[in-house]
């Protein structure tokens, strides 16, 4: 726990040691992890006892143990379904990230383009994907391709709106600095606007990664199975028809766990990307 | 400074009216010669920043003409690195290290990578920061950031250095040491410096000339030649006389505004 002090001729700089930060960080993690765990335990015990107390059938409200049992018994069905949904939503997310960022850069590089096209992006966003999904199925056939496209469509807009906001939020003085040195439009884009937009871009990606999963599961409801293997959304529709409620719960919970995991992964990547970059991601210090 | 010195900056009957209707400058006439250290002193809102931005080609005169080295500033910055600007806050890019921040002007002008680094090292040494090449701005104190910002301005070897209240946000100790650094650099590099400040002591300590400006609409109210040898001593009676003179001019310009 040493705290080094570096001294220059006249000013001083105190470099907080990394160890100390890590300790503080761990303390914080302990606090933020314990609360939710306790809440979860209470929630699970309530859930476990309610069907017993009120004598409810498992197909109305299964107990957590029923759900777990269903997950284990039907693991040979559940696991492939998870894999399918994960693949679809990750691909949908990656496409929405890449396409979203490029479209934002394109729009931001031309005022005319932005002013004339952005309103339509907003309008497109307000159309419920469920409404256009059947058209997508007509165009691209049921199954994988359509599902990925639906997932992409849902995840795409948050990336565009956030990135665009970031690209337009450049500090005026920094803009002046670049004009003073006669920076070209693209130099300003690559060396100023894009780096300045990074935190916005990353929060857009964080929103879009969970939406991509919602998109994939919704897509599976509509575009079904095509080509043989269905994902979690498809498994849920089947389970609902067959009244296999515990398995339905298992599918939904698997989707949620994947969602949390994916979100954490994207957050981690974003933290890493912004680490050397921005104060905004360094708010832990202070 | 002799009358034969080359003219670097000239304001000829310059008006600046912003599109909000604010008259920021009115009938500004001023000629600044090579090697001068001129401070613009005046109340808040009198158009000091506006004037400086016009010299840097970042704003245009509504009426009249601003010329730098006999050229339109906008043309000048398109073709040369003659002008550098030190902003009020250090204005560093937070995602770049100290070295990469200093190198930026050269990078934007497309100069060779090795020369860039060489030049950056030289200017960082000049401001006493060559041990902090790899640090990020957030790891530096306010004074150090300001020094990086000055180093960045010097990296492009400007003939004209514009500084808009560069030391305003610093504590007295840091400010004084940076003032000394700045005078050293001025002496070594023989750049012409336009320096904006609110602080009368700072103006007298640093400048060879003080342009006192009156409040809205901003115009030049007096031009004081500070005939004191460098390095200046803040406690001599002549220093105090200049401080009084500048303060009086400043007060006069304020009163005139209240009366009119
Ligand atoms: N972009 C702008 N649009 C409209 N009005 C402006 C703009 N910039 C400055 N002004 C106005 O012009 C006047 C002069 O502004 P300027 O920033 O040049 O003053 P200043 O002397 O630098 O003041 P300070 O010492 O507070 O920095 C002020 O009244 C200000 O409100
Ligand atoms: Mg100002």
Residue A249 has pLDDT above 90, yes or no: yes
Q: Tell which of B157, B186, B209 closes a domain.
A: B157
Q: Across chain B, what does the average pLDDT equal?
A: 89
The residue to mutate among B18, B51, B219, having the most atoms of ligand 1 within 8 angstroms of its beta carbon, is B18
- Contacts B104 to A, Cβ<8 Å: 177, 181, 191
Q: Tell which of B157, B188, B206 closes a domain.
A: B157
Helix (H) / strand (E) element for B259: namely helix B237-259
pLDDT at A27: 65
Q: Distance (Å, rounded) from C-alpha A165 to C-alpha A74?
A: 46
Nearest by CB: A282 against B56, B85, B138: B138
pLDDT at B256: 62
Residues B78 and B174 in one domain: yes
Residues 6+ positions from B161 with CB-CB distance below 8 Å: B84, B86, B153, B154, B191, B192, B193, B194
Residues B75 and B177 in one domain: yes
- Contacts B56 to A, Cβ<8 Å: 176, 180
Q: Per-residue confidence at B195, pLDDT binned at 50, 70, 90?
A: very high
Residue A5 has pLDDT above 70, yes or no: no
Q: Which residues surround ligand 2, an ion (CB under 5 A)?
A: B 49
Q: What is the DSSP pairing of strand B83-86 with strand B23-33?
A: unpaired
pLDDT at B157: 87
pLDDT digits (tens, 9 = 90+) for A72-86: 999 998 999 999 999
Domain membership flag for residue B87:
no
Q: Distance (Å, rounded) from C-alpha A228 to C-alpha A217?
A: 16
Q: Burial level of B198, CB count in 10 A (0-12/13-18/19+)?
A: middle
> What residues pair up with B66 in beta bridges, in sequence order?
B11
Residues B76 and B175 in one domain: yes
Residues B67 and B128 in one domain: no
Chain A positions contacting chain B at CB under 8 Å are 6, 8-13, 15, 171, 173-174, 176-183, 187, 191-192, 195, 198, 276-279, 282
Helix (H, G, I), strand (E, B) or coil at A192: helix
Quickly count: other Cβ atoms within 10 Å of residue A239's Cβ: 22
Q: How far is CA A159 from CA A34, A72, A203, B57, in A?
A: 33, 37, 8, 36
Q: Identify the residue with better confidence: B89 or A152.
A: A152
pLDDT at A282: 46
Residues B215 and B245 in one domain: yes
Q: Which domain holds residue B179?
A: 1-82+170-260
Domain membership flag for residue B162:
no
The complex's ipTM works out to: 0.89
Contact A166, A201 (CB under 8 A): yes
Residues B213 and B132 in one domain: no
Where in B108-217 does DSSP place strands (E)? 160-164, 192-197, 209-214
Domain harbouring B47, CATH code: 3.40.50.300
Q: Per-residue confidence at B4, pLDDT binned at 50, 70, 90?
A: low
When mean pLDDT is compared across A124-133, A212-221, B17-26, the lowest value belongs to A124-133
pLDDT at A247: 93
Residue of B nearest to A277 (CA): B95
Residues B55 and B119 in one domain: no
Helix (H, G, I), strand (E, B) or coil at B92: coil
pLDDT at A23: 63
Domain membership flag for residue B151:
yes
| Residue of B57, B6, B66, B65 lying closest to B36 (CA atoms) | B6
Domain membership flag for residue B72:
yes
pTM: 0.82
| Overall number of domains in chain B | 2
Residue A9 has pLDDT above 50, yes or no: no
Residues B193 and B65 in one domain: yes
Contact A17, A1 (CB under 8 A): yes
Residues 6+ positions from B259 with CB-CB distance below 8 Å: none
Residue A286 has pLDDT above 50, yes or no: no
Residue A94 has pLDDT above 70, yes or no: yes
Residue B49 has pLDDT above 80, yes or no: yes
Residues B44 and B117 in one domain: no
Residues B96 and B67 in one domain: no
Structure tokens at A38: 């306790």
Residue B65 has pLDDT above 50, yes or no: yes
pLDDT at A284: 37
Domain membership flag for residue B142:
yes
pLDDT digits (tens, 9 = 90+) for B134-193: 999 988 988 899 999 999 999 988 999 999 999 988 888 888 988 998 999 899 888 999
pLDDT at A143: 85
Residue A6 has pLDDT above 80, yes or no: no
Residues B59 and B107 in one domain: no
The residue to mutate among B24, B48, B214, having the most atoms of ligand 1 within 8 angstroms of its beta carbon, is B24
Where in A11-133 does DSSP place strands (E)? 12-14
When mean pLDDT is compared across A17-31, A232-246, A259-273, B85-99, the lowest value belongs to A17-31
Structure tokens at A186: 């693209």
Residue B245 has pLDDT above 50, yes or no: yes
Nearest by CB: B108 against A15, A171, A183: A183
Domain membership flag for residue B163:
no
Q: Tell which of B109, B133, B157 closes a domain.
A: B157
Residues B176 and B237 in one domain: yes
């Amino acid at each position: 726990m040493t705290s080094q002090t570096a001294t220059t001729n006249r000013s001083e700089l105190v470099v907080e040691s990394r160890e100390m930060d890590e300790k503080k960080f761990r303390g914080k993690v302990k606090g933020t992890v314990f609360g939710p765990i306790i809440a979860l335990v209470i929630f699970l015990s309530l859930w476990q006892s309610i069907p017993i107390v009120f004598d409810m059938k498992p197909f109305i409200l299964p107990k957590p143990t029923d759900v777990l049992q269903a997950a284990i018994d039907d693991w040979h069905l559940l696991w492939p379904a998870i894999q399918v949904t994960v693949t679809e939503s990750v691909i949908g997310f990656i496409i929405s990230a890449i396409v979203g960022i490029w479209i934002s850069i394109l729009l931001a590089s031309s005022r005319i383009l932005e002013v004339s096209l952005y309103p339509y992006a907003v309008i497109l966003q307000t159309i419920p994907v469920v409404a256009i999904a059947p058209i997508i199925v007509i165009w691209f056939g049921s199954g994988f391709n359509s599902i990925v496209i639906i997932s992409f469509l849902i995840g795409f807009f948050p990336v565009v709106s956030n990135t665009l906001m970031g690209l337009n939020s450049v500090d005026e003085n920094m803009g002046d600095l670049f004009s003073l040195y006669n920076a070209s439009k693209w130099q300003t884009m690559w060396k100023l606007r894009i780096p300045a937009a990074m935190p916005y871009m990353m929060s857009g990606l964080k929103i879009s990664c969970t939406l991509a999963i919602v998109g994939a599961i919704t897509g599976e409801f509509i575009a079904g199975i095509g080509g043989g293997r269905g994902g979690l959304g498809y498994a849920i529709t089947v389970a609902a028809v067959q009244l296999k409620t515990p398995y339905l719960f298992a599918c939904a919970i698997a989707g949620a766990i994947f969602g949390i995991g994916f979100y954490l992964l994207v957050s981690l990547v974003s933290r890493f990307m912004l680490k050397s970059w921005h104060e905004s991601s360094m708010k832990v210090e202070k | 400074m002799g009358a034969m010195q080359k003219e670097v900056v000239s304001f000829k009957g310059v008006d600046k009216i912003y599109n909000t209707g604010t008259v920021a400058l009115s009938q500004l006439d001023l000629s600044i010669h090579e090697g001068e250290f001129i401070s613009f002193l005046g109340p808040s809102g009198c158009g000091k920043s506006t004037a400086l931005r016009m010299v840097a080609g970042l704003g245009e005169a509504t009426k009249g003409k601003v010329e730098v080295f006999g050229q339109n500033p906008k043309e000048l910055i398109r073709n040369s690195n003659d002008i550098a600007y030190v902003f009020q806050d250090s204005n560093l890019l937070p995602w770049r290290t100290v070295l990469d921040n200093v190198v930026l002007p050269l990078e934007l002008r497309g100069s060779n990578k090795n020369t860039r680094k060489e030049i950056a090292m030289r200017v960082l040494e000049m401001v006493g920061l060559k041990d902090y090449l790899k640090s990020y701005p957030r790891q530096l104190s306010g004074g150090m950031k300001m020094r990086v910002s000055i180093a960045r301005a010097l990296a492009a070897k400007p003939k004209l250095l514009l500084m808009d209240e560069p030391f305003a946000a610093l504590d007295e100790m840091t400010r004084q040491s940076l003032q000394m650094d700045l005078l050293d650099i001025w002496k070594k590099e023989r750049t012409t410096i336009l320096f904006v400040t609110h602080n009368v002591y700072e103006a007298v300590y640093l400048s060879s000339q003080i342009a006192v400006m009156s409040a809205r609409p901003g115009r030049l109210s007096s031009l004081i030649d500070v005939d004191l040898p460098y390095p200046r001593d803040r406690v001599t009676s002549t220093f105090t006389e200049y401080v009084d003179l500048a303060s009086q001019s400043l007060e006069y310009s304020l009163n005139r505004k209240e009366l009119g």
